[in-house]
């Protein structure tokens, strides 16, 4: 265990939660995008979080440290939501099909807002954990005075 | 008599135990949204308590090992068992305890200093 271990752990969570916010913002921004580079409407993206410390690097770090691996978080990947596209009746739309329906992205703005709040609250919780750790280390430094 | 007695060494070991617990609790908050994650905790109190109860020497006390345990809790629908409120409460409790331990250790060092005539 290093003295700044808990700061590293909280920092990993800060970047993971920030990425969640970025992806949610992208989903919200593209809630009406009917055209993408792959063709078809935009598909909702989701961040998969994973406990870090697995695999070879994690095992090596655990073997080198006396107190085991640090348990930060890392982004396992960004996956696309497989839910079906929304069909909206809008015959005047340039992407409407023969029946007048447009395939809209499978993004639900309410879900995205809830995700945004969840990511933001988690971010705050980790900032608080970081501040607590900082206070603790400052207290330890006082021992030298 | 050794300069640092068993109490002082126990205090120092408790400080590193609290630092280790801080790591575990920070990891729990970091993984609050990780599916399948099980929260961890470090019970350094009982390890130190049994060392003191067994009448361990100062050297033995400062070698007390702390194990990280996995907590069992209610698993949420998204697969994580972390309760952010509980973890935040534990985190601030642990920080206060850490500061108390450091303060007591500091007081004892100050006593030593004045005995040496440098305080």
pLDDT per residue as tens digits for the range B5-42: 889 999 999 999 999 999 999 999 999 988 888 899 99
- At residue A64, the pLDDT reads 64
Interface confidence, given as ipTM, is 0.75
- At residue A68, the pLDDT reads 47
- Please state, in angstroms and as integers, the Cα–Cα distance from residue A9 to each residue in A74, A88, B107, following that order: 10, 44, 31
Record the tokens describing residue A58, joined without a space.
């994690």
Q: What single-letter DSSP state applies at residue B40?
A: E
DSSP sequence for chain A: --TTHHHHHHHHHHHHHHHHHHHHHHHHHTTT----TTSSS---EEEEEEESS-HHHHHHHHHHSTT-----EEEEEEEE--SPPEEEE-TTSTT--TTSEEEE-S--HHHHHHHHHHHHHHHHHHHHHHHHHHHHHHHHHHTT-
Residue A48: how many other CB atoms lie within 10 Å: 11
Closest-CA residue of chain B to A4: B23
The residue of A3, A47, A51 whose CB has the most chain B CBs within 10 angstroms, and thus the best one to mutate to test that interface, is A51
Record the tokens describing residue A79, joined without a space.
């996956």
Under DSSP, is residue B50 helix (H, G, I), strand (E, B) or coil?
helix
pLDDT per residue as tens digits for the range B67-76: 888 887 778 8
Please check the confidence at residue A118 and state whether its pLDDT lies above 70.
yes
Contact at CB, A1 and B19, closer than 8 angstroms: yes
- Band (pLDDT 50/70/90 cuts) for residue A18 is very high
Determine the Cα–Cα distance for residues B45 and B11; give it in Å rounded to an integer: 11
Residues of A in contact with B35 (CB under 8 A): 48-49
**Per-residue pLDDT averaged across A30-34, rounded?**
93
- Distance (Å) from the alpha carbon of B6 to chain A's nearest alpha carbon: 19
Q: For residue A53, give the nearest of A40, A38, A64, A42 by alpha carbon.
A: A64
- At residue A10, the pLDDT reads 92
Determine the Cα–Cα distance for residues B61 and A134; give it in Å rounded to an integer: 27
Residues 51-110 of B with CB under 8 A from A: 66, 68, 84, 87-88, 91-92, 95, 98-99, 102-103, 105-106, 109
Q: Supply the mean pLDDT for chain B.
A: 88
pLDDT per residue as tens digits for the range B36-83: 888 999 999 999 999 999 988 888 888 888 888 888 777 887 778 888
Compute, in degrees rounded to 10, the torsion defined by CA atoms A15, A19, A24, A25.
100
Contact at CB, B30 and A12, closer than 8 angstroms: yes
pTM: 0.80
Determine the Cα–Cα distance for residues B37 and B82; give it in Å rounded to an integer: 8
- Give me the percent of chain B exceeding a pLDDT of 90: 48
């Amino acid at each position: 265990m290093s003295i700044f271990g808990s700061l590293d752990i909280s920092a990993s969570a800060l970047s993971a939660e920030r990425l969640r916010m970025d992806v949610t913002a992208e989903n919200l921004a593209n809630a009406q995008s009917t055209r993408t580079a792959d063709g078809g409407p935009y598909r909702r993206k989701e961040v998969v979080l994973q406990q870090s410390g697995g695999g070879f690097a994690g095992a090596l770090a655990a073997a080198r440290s006396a107190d085991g691996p640090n348990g930060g978080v890392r982004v396992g990947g960004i996956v696309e939501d497989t839910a079906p596209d929304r069909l909206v009746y809008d015959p005047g739309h340039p992407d409407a099909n023969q029946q007048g329906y447009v395939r809209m992205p499978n993004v639900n703005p309410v879900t995205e807002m809830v995700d945004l709040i969840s990511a933001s609250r988690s971010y705050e919780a980790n900032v608080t954990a970081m501040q607590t750790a900082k206070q603790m280390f400052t207290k330890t430094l006082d021992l030298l005075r | 008599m050794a300069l640092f007695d068993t109490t002082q060494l126990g205090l120092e070991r408790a400080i590193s135990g609290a630092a280790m617990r801080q790591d575990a609790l920070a990891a729990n908050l970091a993984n609050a949204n990780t599916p399948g994650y099980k929260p961890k905790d470090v019970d350094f109190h009982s390890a130190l308590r049994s060392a003191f109860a067994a009448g361990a020497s100062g050297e033995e006390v400062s070698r007390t090992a702390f194990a990280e345990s996995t907590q069992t809790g209610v698993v949420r629908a998204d697969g994580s068992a972390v309760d952010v409120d509980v973890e935040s409460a534990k985190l601030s409790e642990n920080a206060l305890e850490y500061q108390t331990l450091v303060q007591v250790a500091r007081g004892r060092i100050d006593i030593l200093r004045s005995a040496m005539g440098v305080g």
